[in-house]
Each structure stands twice: as C-alpha cells, then as structure tokens.
Structure 1
Amino acid sequence: MIFGIDLTALLPFIAVGFAAQMVDGALGMAFGVISNTLLLSLGVPPAMASAGVHTVETFTTAVSGVSHALHKNVNWKLFLRIAIPGVIGGALGAYVLSNIDAATAKPFILAYLTAIGLYLLWRAQHYPPQERSPKIVEPLGLAGGFLDAAGGGGWGPVVTSNLLVQGSSPRMTIGTVNTAEFFVTTTISATFITQLGWEAFTLATIGLLIGGVIAAPFGALLAKRVEPKRLMLMVGVVLTLTSVYNLYLAVR
C-alpha cells in the first residue's frame, strides 16, 4: 500500500496502459479502444469509462506528441487541418455521451471500421501505393473527435485509417494523428469534467495513466523505425480485430 493505493490491484491496469499505448504510439490507434473495452468489461458505465480513458490520454498523448515531433514524424499542415475540427467534434461527442445514449449507432460505425481494416490489409499487400496528399481531412477530424468521445475510442481508427486509404504516408500520418490527439483528448476531458465531475478518476485510471506514460516515448520510435508496408499491415490487423471484437460485444 502506497498513499492508500493497493499496488497489486494497480499492476494489471499499468500493464494494460503500457501495452495499449505501445500499440497506439506505433500505429496511431487503439489506446482508447483497448482501455475502454477493459473498463466496460469491469462494469464501468460508458460515460465514466470514456471520461477516465480520456483523462489518461491527456497525459499519454502529450508525451507521445512530443516524441513524434522530436522524431520528425509530424506533418504540421495536416496537423492543423485535423486538430481544429477534431477539438470541435470531441466537445460535441463528450456532451452527447454525458446526456444522451449514443449506443444505437455504434454497431454501424464498427462495421464500417472493420471494412476499412480489411481494405488496409489488402492495400498493405499491394504496397507501395502512389503516395498522395489526402483531400478529405477536416470532416475526418470532426467525425473522429465526435466518435472518440461518444464511443469511448475512435480518433485513431477513424482518422488514421481513412488518411492511409487516401494515400497519406503511414509514418507521417501516425505521428500527426497522435500529436493532434492531445488537443482533442484535452478538450474531451474538460467537457466530461464539466458534465460528470472528477468521479471518473478511479484506481483503473491511475494504473492506465502510469503504464501509458511509461510507454509513450517508445511508440514514436517504432513508427519511425518500422517500414511503411509493415506499419500499414499492422494498422489493418489491429483495426480489424478490435472493430470485430467490439462489434460482437455491441450486437450480442
């Protein structure tokens, strides 16, 4: 016991936070999805789970964003195009989840993300595609921010995957989306606090925070070192598996 906290109860959450952030930092997605799924499986209400995860992500994305910037993984023009609408969408999504049940649309969103994941797997087998600047960006930021807050995770799956489908560079996409996520999650967390108070900051939240912050610098290094084809393949695998699993939970 340290400061009244049972360390044996904390360790599983630290491990989950570490693993989830390693995946998120390297592939631009999955921290919210993995962490939120764990909290929901333990009986935490959706709004409380999403609030707790986004509170943690405020810290992990700050460390991850700095790491990606230092490794030159960020396209700053693209960053501005997704961060601003992402902040707006995040605030709206947090307000909706705090006051309205948004679960009805979740299976349809997850089915769409599963299809995107399968397409990315196909694209990875035919890499390298012709790299080009993505045309549809601002709507992705808005939708990604909204779904991230309302669905407890979705910024990376929605924004990263769709930018890759449009031909954006895997390394720069992952770094840029991760860096923009700090501003989105900070806005979502602040909105949840105004609606729910600080009750969401539980033992699980503390464990996820410790593990996530420890892992954050390493994900950016992986994104820089791993070859683009393998990065795209890994993004497709993680997106498909997490979407199919959560789709099963949503419709069963």
Structure 2
Amino acid sequence: MDPDFWLFAAVGFAAQLVDGALGMAYGVISTSVLLSAGVTPANASASVHAAKVFTGAASGLSHIFHRNVDWKLLGLLSGGGVVGGVLGAYVLTSIPGEVVKPFVVAWLGLMGVVILYRAWRQTRPKVFSWKQPLPLGLVGGFFDAIGGGGWGPVVTSSLMGAGADARKAIGTTNTAEVFVAVATSAAFLASLLTGHWETEGLRGLLWQLGGLIAGGVVAAPIAGWATKVLPLRMLTWLVGLVVVALAAWQAVALF
C-alpha cells in the first residue's frame, strides 16, 4: 500500500475530528496539505470534495444521532450551498491553476486568520441573520469550491455570530456539507467529461483521496460526540495556527 495513504489518512482523521467538533476546517486543512504537496488548485478542490461526500455523510449521521441538526435550516443552507458550489467549480475549472493558486492560498490564509480571531476574541463576525440561510449557503458553497475549503468558516461562523445555538450551527453545517460536496463533485466531473476542464495528475491522487476518506470516516462519529464535550476554544486556536502555517508555507513556495 502506498505510504501516502497512511499520511493522508492521518490528515483526514485530524481534519474531520476538528471539523466535526468546530463545524469547520476539513476542507481548509486537506486542501492546504494537497497544495503544499504540489497539487493544482482544481485537482485539490475536486479531490477534497470527493472525499467530503463520504466523510460528510458519516459526520451528518453522527450529528443526526446526537440531535445536533435543525432540519429547516438544513434544507435552506443545502439549497444555497449546492448552487454556490456548482458556480465555484465552474469558475475554478475555467482558470489556469498557476493563475488561481495565489488567490486560493490567500483565501486559505484569510480563513486561518478568521479562525484565530475567533479563538482570541471568543466571538464570531455577524454577517448574516439566521433568517437568511439561503444567501449564506450560496456564498459558503462558492468559496468552498474555489478554495477547496471555506464552507465551515463562512457558514458556521456567520450562524454562531447571528446567535444560533452552537450545537445546532455546527451539526447542521456539517450535515449540509454533504449535499454541497455531491453537487460540487458532480460539477467537476461534468467539466471533465465535457472537455471544459482538462486536467492531468488526477488519477495519481487516488491513494491520497482514499486516505482522506478513510481517516475522515473513522473520525466522524467521534467528532459528533466531541461537539458536546471538547473545549472548542483550544481546538479553534490549534486549527487556526495550522492553517496559517500551511498558507505561509505555500506562499513562500510560490514567491
């Protein structure tokens, strides 16, 4: 078995554990690691969203079991997220990787700073009211597809900043993510099959993809339970530092 499988299984496990507990970071961490390994932005985003189909389903089932899901909010977030994800995938596959990568790295770095700000101030930016989940899902899905991560930082942060119950915000965001991942993955596949997106090296990522899926699926049930018991501020500091460090590493490699 390829050693990359075990490395990415560890990455997937850690990323999903934090994502399930905080409502963010699986895509940001996984995409950052793939970009650091030299994978193009479109390939990285496509791989991470394919993995999210499986890890998101496992995470969603765990949150449903622990009653962390608001069903009305789930439907509205998912609807907006699906549209935004498809649009983001189309934009990402229309632009050469070397052009878009600096912007993707900047976006991931920004997400890291936002997470650190949350840990420092113990607050979340109030961007949308909880009564406006459809446009929130649209924005979150678009940036998630563009950066390979961003659904959680945009959606969970905004919901909690608007006063939503933390457990419901995290659980519902994680459960909605599986619908966004399916739609975004389908958009990447359609772009590939229709010739809109011509990619190289995607097949070479199968071991990495398998590792991300395996690690994430194993961690998902633990993460659903962890939402109730883990010290979220400590985990927020940890993931923020990791994401900023990875973004800085990629920036050095670029410039």
8 Å contact kept, 2:116–2:236: no
From 33, 37, 41, the equivalent of 2:28 is 33
Cα distance in 2 for residues equivalent to 1:187 and 1:208? 19
Question: Displacement of 1:225 after TM fit?
Answer: 2.6
1:231 aligns with 2:227: no
Question: Displacement of 1:120 after TM fit?
Answer: 2.1
In structure 2, the residue matched to 1:70 is: 65
From 136, 142, 145, the equivalent of 2:138 is 142
* Residue correspondence of structure 1 range 1-252 to structure 2 within 5 A: 6-101=1-96, 102-103=100-101, 105-106=103-104, 109-110=107-108, 113-114=111-112, 116-124=114-122, 134-196=130-192, 199-200=202-203, 202-226=206-230, 230-231=231-232, 234-235=235-236, 238-239=239-240, 241-243=242-244, 245-246=246-247, 249-250=250-251, 252=255
8 Å contact kept, 1:106–1:250: no
Cα distance in 2 for residues equivalent to 1:59 and 1:161? 23
8 Å contact kept, 2:52–2:181: yes
Change (3 A) 1:250 1:87: farther
The TM-score, its normalising length taken from structure 2, stands at: 0.82
Q: Report the AA paired with residue 165 of structure 2.
A: S
Cα distance in 1 for residues equivalent to 2:105 and 2:135? 21
8 Å contact kept, 2:33–2:246: no
Cα distance in 2 for residues equivalent to 1:238 and 1:20? 9
Mean Cα displacement is larger for which, 18-27 or 233-242? 233-242
Question: Displacement of 1:175 after TM fit?
Answer: 0.3
Q: Report the AA paired with residue 74 of structure 1.
A: V
Mean Cα displacement is larger for which, 156-165 or 177-186? 156-165
**Any stretches of 5+ residues in structure 1 without a counterpart?**
1-5, 128-132
8 Å contact kept, 1:17–1:35: yes
Q: Report the AA paired with residue 32 of structure 2.
A: T
The TM-score, its normalising length taken from structure 1, stands at: 0.83
Cα distance in 2 for residues equivalent to 1:116 and 1:7? 35
Q: Report the AA paired with residue 213 of structure 1.
A: V
Change (3 A) 1:106 1:45: closer
8 Å contact kept, 2:82–2:138: yes
Change (3 A) 1:236 1:13: closer
Alpha-carbon displacement from aligned partner over 1:89-144 (angstroms, at most 9, x marks no partner): 001111111112544654664565455334423442x89xxxxx724432221111
In structure 2, the residue matched to 1:3 is: none
Question: Displacement of 1:146 after TM fit?
Answer: 0.7
Cα distance in 2 for residues equivalent to 1:178 and 1:155? 9
Mean Cα displacement is larger for which, 191-200 or 75-84? 191-200
Alignment RMSD (CA, Å): 2.6
8 Å contact kept, 2:159–2:169: yes
In structure 1, the residue matched to 2:196 is: none
**Any stretches of 5+ residues in structure 2 without a counterpart?**
194-198
Number of equivalences: 238
8 Å contact kept, 1:110–1:244: no
Question: Displacement of 1:247 after TM fit?
Answer: 5.8
Change (3 A) 1:42 1:247: closer
